[in-house]
Amino acid sequence: MKEKVEAALEKIRPMLMADGGNVDLVEVTDKGVVKLKLTGTCGCCPMSQMTLKMGIEKLLKEEVPEVKEVVAI
């Protein structure tokens, strides 16, 4: 599943990079929890939680149905 998540993140990265940010995959648990680290301007942006839940999590769940939740660390 980790490879599927990484492939889906590659589709998101250009949008994040356009705003000076990025995302690093830290872990994918057996329970379908994806742990990410937002970097660059995404790491300190006040809208980062919305980006994480409404953008990244939504896309990951569509691309990889095994994903249950996405959390930032």
47-64 pLDDT per residue, tens: 888 888 889 999 999 999
CA distances from 36 to 25, 64, 69 (A): 5, 15, 11
With cut-offs at 50, 70 and 90, classify the pLDDT of residue 41: confident
Q: In the CATH hierarchy, which fold is given to the domain comprising 2-72?
A: GMP Synthetase; Chain A, domain 3 (3.30.300)
Element counts in the chain: helices (H) and strands (E): 4, 3
Residue 66 pLDDT greater than 90, yes or no = yes
Nearest to 23 by CA among 33, 35, 2: 35
Please tell me the predicted confidence (pLDDT) of residue 67: 97
